[in-house]
Every structure is written in C-alpha cells, then in structure tokens.
Amino acid sequence: MATAPQRITHLENLSREVAAWVAEVARLTVPDAVVWCDGSESERRALQARLVEARELIPLNAASYPGCHLYRSDPNDVARVEHVTFVCTREREDAGPNNHWMAPAEAHRKMDDLFRGCMRGRTLYVVPYCMGPIDSPYARCGVEITDSPYVVLNMRLMTRMGREALERIAREGTFVKGLHSTGELDPARRFIMHFPEELSIKSFGSGYGGNALLGKKCHALRIASWQARREGWLAEHMLIVGIENPRGETHYLACAFPSACGKTNLAMLIPPASYAGWKVWTVGDDIAWLHPGSDGRLYAINPEKGYFGVVPGTNPQTNRNAFETIRRDTIFTNVALTAEDEPWWEGLQAGEPLFDWQGRPFDPKKGPAAHPNSRFTVSAEQNPCYSPAADAPQGVPISAIVFGGRRRSLAPLVYQARSWTHGVLIGAGVASETTAAATGEVGVVRRDPMAMKPFAGYNFADYWDHWIKVGAALERPPQIFHVNWFRQGDDGKFLWPGFGENMRVLRWIIDRCGGAAGAVDTPIGHLPGPTDLDTHGLPIHGSTLAELLEVDRDAWRAEFGQVGAYLDEFGERLPQALKRELGEALRRVGG
C-alpha cells in the first residue's frame, strides 16, 4: 500500500484502544489490507491516483479547474436516507418520536450480519479525525473505519484528519467509533445506526456524504447532541458567520436553516455595494458547537474544516466566494461534464453540459444535467472570506441565533423573539419545505425544529428542555431571531431578492442586539417597522416590503394550533416552560 510499513506500525502503536477495535472490526469484515491514515499529502496523492486509475475519479480540466475531480455516485445513492437512519438507545423514549428507533442489541446484530466479510477484496482504512480545532478544549475526536477511499479523501477535506487526531485520542483515551462500508450499495441493505450511549455509529450500504462521512451528521450532530446534553453545551445544525462593521467590530451569528436552504450562501455572503467597509467572515457553513463561556456569553466552534456544499445555483452573482473557493482542489460529486472537461451545473450561467451526472449524453428530457443534490467537497481555507477565528480554540462569541425555513407564506422576512424561551419556541416551531438533500418528496412543508429534525440524537422534548436550561444559565445570552428569505407573491415570485441583500436583514439583527435599531411589537415578536430596515438603493416596492413584514393573525393562530399539535406528540416529557410559552403565543394572536 501507499503508506510505509514503519509508519503503519507507529500509528497503530499510538492508541491501544483504537488498535483493539480495528482488530475486532478486521476479524468481522475480513479486509485484504488494513491502512492507518496519517493525513499526509503523499497519502492523499496516492489515494487520488488510485481512484483516477480505477476511473472512479475523473480529473477535470487542469487549466481551469486545477486539482479538481468529478465523482459519480451510484444513481440510487445521492442523498441522506432518513427512513433507514436510527437512534438506538436502550430506552425507546430516549430517542423520542422524532427518531426511528431500534433496540441496541437488535441493531448490532443486524449490522454485524451486514458487515460480516463485507471487506473481502477491499482495503480497510482507519481514519482518525478531530472535530474542531485540534487544540480546542471543545473539540472531540473519532475514528472512522471505512472501505471507501472516496470517503477517506472527503474526510481529509472535511475534518482535521490523521496523526494529530490519533495523538489526541491516545492522550484522551476516548473517541467516537464509526464503522462504515459501502457494501453493495443496495438500498434494501442500507442502514445508518447510532448508539449514543456507546458513542458509536454503524453505517452500511451508502457512499453519500451525509450517510458515509461519519464525522459530519452522524458524529458532529447526532452523537454530539447527545454528548452535549450530558456536558452542558449544544451541538447544532448552524452556520457561523462574522459581520465586521466599518469600525472594525465583528459580531458573530449562528444560523440554523434546514438542509439546502442557503446556509453556505449566507455564511459566505458578499455585502451589497452600498455596504462599503463591511466585511463578512465565514467560521462555518453547516455545524456549530456552542459552549457557555466564563463571561456569561455563548461561544461557537465549527467542528468541520471543509464544506460539503450543494453545487446547483452557485455562480458569481449568487455566491462569488463559493464560486472562487471551488475553482481548485475540489471534489465534485454528481455534477455534469462539458466537452472541455469542466464541471457544469444548473445556474452556472456558462458553458454547456455534454454528459449528465450519470455520465450519459445530456438529454434535457431525462432531467437536470447535474443532480439537484450534487455537491462540492473543498477545504474551508480556500474560501476568500475564511475567518481566522475559525481556528480559535475557544471559538467566537455569539451575538444572535437565527432560525429560518423555506416558507412560501406566513413567516415574515425577519422577527425577533421576546426572550430566550420564546426563541426556543420559535426554533421548535421551525417548518420548511423539503429539499433534495434527503430522499423523498421535495417541496412538502414539514416541521424541522431548530433545523435538527434529521439530526437530533435524542428526544426533542429533552432537547428543548436542555436548550431552555442552557439559555437560563447564560448571563448574556444571544438574542434569538427568525428569518424567511423565501416568501412568494401570488405570482409565485420571491418577494425578497436574497443573497447579498440579506446583509440588510443581518444588519438589523446586529443593531437590535446592540440596541441601535427600531422595531415594532407584534403578536409574534419584534419586527422592523417600515423604516427600520435599510432598503437604501434596493428596488423594492413599499407594498412588497409591507407584505414581507405582515403578520396575519388568523394564519398565525392556525400555525400555533399546528405547532401545538406537533408538540403534543412529545407528551409528558414536553417542558412545561415551552407549553406556557405556546399558550402565551396563542393568546397574543387571539387564540
């Protein structure tokens, strides 16, 4: 194999716990070879060369996309699979109505049957990784065992992977165990199992990012949310962005939006021309680990070090930073290909697809050229607005938490919660139209509390209780807001221009935190009055703005009724404080 034998021996000797587990997995899966990954550049090159030789990675145009490759996944393996994702706690109630549940013994049996002998003829890769800056007290480590070299290359981009992570594991003695095999990519033999009480994950039958890069959703959200509850912090599906004003002061926001609702775009926003002197810094685009700091504020780290972003729609107008980020050393998964060997996707606004994402000659009758959930995997350091604070061990102080969803109607452009607990209710009530990030129907409104429906590793009732307690213990908690960039008029057109113009809304949010912006009190919370939002230079009609900021009491009464019915599913475990808050919200809209 690519790695020198003495290196393997050394890594193997670093942690006896990891070595014992690797040996146990090797006995079960029977690989032809075992390779311990050190995260080095030579290792990356060797893996990449092997995949290119096997025609699994297609090198892209070396002049216009240097170091970039295209990967085509199995057409039946292109998204997260929530219907076969399980949380396996001893007590069913601990997983809650928000998760599929299986008893741990049964789940282990089922998975071990699938894993038995599955790596015959394959190499078993041991991938030690650290979620968070390697020297951060808030970072947590894991080891993923996988038989997919594509997964290894992605994990190297997405996490701090290799020797340093293993050294930290050896010092700490604990790590999350993630066992992964692509199996035969048979959807009927595909399961993603989480064992939070054992800090372990077993994933079989998929090579797709959210199912197979176990550091991401499985560890950094499902397992970490469980750990966070025990240890007094929060693991959330949130981007982290720093907004620097012309005086050089930076406010950090943590924003939770459901999958494929523009988190990466917001995290990399370019302010409109009228915002001279303002800068935006990306700390993270998908996950935030939030810890109470000694000064009574909430601090966030991004446990990841790369982006696994949705490609379609990315262009210099919608997200110039992302567009520039992915011009080199990027893995594109399931995009189309041009005659010049360049990647192509809907919304790119240049070039023409020759082959679609499945490698077939492009035929618009057969659907889009790029898969709607096609992705880029790229190191965060390539982002022109990458925040140096992303590597700060203590994280960044959070001024505001922003929830949001994709809603054609009802939710106004922005509103502010009255209090932390009111904010928790707003977060618990988040609903959004489903997207291509998960298999299933697209465009259906579903409840997605805190954008964590697919990712909370335990009962939502306990999760909301934990949120309320974390906030109550903070002397200077962040203010909580809700945004909706996706309101549509009767003609089906978006009312708000979105993208860079969202800066105007972020500015109002920051100014509200500093007490410098006005608002009107409404039954659902504080909204900007007609002149409180900066619309200078924005061609938006007064009546459109009024529609974006309208609060329709009748519609909200119906909404709160539905939120109540949803919360009732959690029965006795639902925190009293949340019930009271909902009662108040209903009363305010005349319910």
Supply the residues annotated as catalytic. Answer: 261
Closest separation between CB of residue 35 and Mn ion, Å? 29
DSSP 574: S
One-letter amino acid at 13 equals: N
Residues 404-443 that bind ligand OXD (CB under 6 A): 437
Nearer to Mn ion by Cβ, of 168 and 375: the residue is 375
Nearer to Mn ion by Cβ, of 259 and 265: the residue is 259
Strands 306-310 vs 176-181: parallel, antiparallel or unpaired: unpaired
Nearer to Mn ion by Cβ, of 286 and 501: the residue is 286
Number of residues in the chain? 591
Contact status, residue 357 vs residue 74, Cβ threshold 8 Å: no
Among 259, 265, 374, 382, binds ligand OXD (CB under 6 A): 259
CA dist 125 and 119 (Å) reads 11
- Any contact of residue 85 with Mn ion (CB under 5 A)? no
Longest CA span, the chain: 73
Nearer to ligand OXD by Cβ, of 81 and 114: the residue is 81
Residue 372 interacting entry, from Mn ion, ligand OXD, none, C-beta within 5 to 8 Å by type: none
Closest separation between CB of residue 332 and ligand OXD, Å? 15
Residues 239-258 that bind Mn ion (CB under 5 A): none
CA dist 157 and 223 (Å) reads 21
CA dist 123 and 177 (Å) reads 18
The phi and psi torsions of 192 (rounded to 5 degrees) equal -120, 110
Closest separation between CB of residue 263 and Mn ion, Å? 7
- Any contact of residue 308 with ligand OXD (CB under 6 A)? yes
- Any contact of residue 80 with ligand OXD (CB under 6 A)? yes
Contact status, residue 283 vs residue 390, Cβ threshold 8 Å: yes
- Count residues near Mn ion (CB under 5 A): 2
Closest separation between CB of residue 80 and ligand OXD, Å? 5
- Any contact of residue 215 with ligand OXD (CB under 6 A)? no
Cα-based torsion angle of the residue sequence 11, 16, 22, 28 in order, rounded to the nearest 10 degrees: 150
Q: Is the Cα torsion angle 403, 406, 407, 412 positive or negative in sign? A: positive
Residue with tokens 């209780």: 465
Nearer to ligand OXD by Cβ, of 259 and 319: the residue is 259
3-class DSSP state for residue 587? helix
Nearer to ligand OXD by Cβ, of 321 and 439: the residue is 439
Nearer to ligand OXD by Cβ, of 111 and 238: the residue is 238
- Any contact of residue 264 with Mn ion (CB under 5 A)? no
Closest separation between CB of residue 308 and ligand OXD, Å? 6
Closest separation between CB of residue 217 and ligand OXD, Å? 7
Residue 308 interacting entry, from Mn ion, ligand OXD, none, C-beta within 5 to 8 Å by type: ligand OXD
CA dist 8 and 19 (Å) reads 11
CA dist 185 and 150 (Å) reads 14
Residue 236 interacting entry, from Mn ion, ligand OXD, none, C-beta within 5 to 8 Å by type: none
- Number of Cβ within 10 Å of residue 558's Cβ equals 14
Among 77, 286, 391, 448, binds ligand OXD (CB under 6 A): 286
Among 259, 421, 434, 479, binds Mn ion (CB under 5 A): 259
Residue 382 interacting entry, from ligand OXD, Mn ion, none, C-beta within 5 to 8 Å by type: none
Closest separation between CB of residue 523 and ligand OXD, Å? 32
CA dist 253 and 243 (Å) reads 8
Taking 3-state DSSP, the helix, strand and coil percentages for the chain, each rounded to the nearest 5, stand at: 35, 25, 40
Residue 210 interacting entry, from ligand OXD, Mn ion, none, C-beta within 5 to 8 Å by type: ligand OXD
3-class DSSP state for residue 475? coil
3-class DSSP state for residue 363? coil
Nearer to ligand OXD by Cβ, of 259 and 374: the residue is 259
3-class DSSP state for residue 307? strand
- Number of Cβ within 10 Å of residue 70's Cβ equals 25
Closest separation between CB of residue 267 and ligand OXD, Å? 12
Residues 6+ apart with CB under 8 A from 141: 128, 129, 130, 131, 165, 168, 169, 172, 174, 175, 176
Distance from CA of residue 562 to its chain's centroid? 26
Residue 119 interacting entry, from Mn ion, ligand OXD, none, C-beta within 5 to 8 Å by type: none
CA dist 12 and 10 (Å) reads 5
Among 38, 43, 236, 286, binds Mn ion (CB under 5 A): 286
The residue of the chain with the least Cβ separation from ligand OXD equals 259
Residues 173-212 that bind ligand OXD (CB under 6 A): 209-210
Nearer to ligand OXD by Cβ, of 210 and 449: the residue is 210
Radius of gyration of the chain (CA): 23
Residues 6+ apart with CB under 8 A from 418: 525, 526
Closest separation between CB of residue 374 and ligand OXD, Å? 12
- Count residues near ligand OXD (CB under 6 A): 7
Element (H, E) at 432: strand 431-433
Applying CB under 5 A, the residues found at the interface with Mn ion are: 259, 286
Applying CB under 6 A, the residues found at the interface with ligand OXD are: 80, 209-210, 259, 286, 308, 437
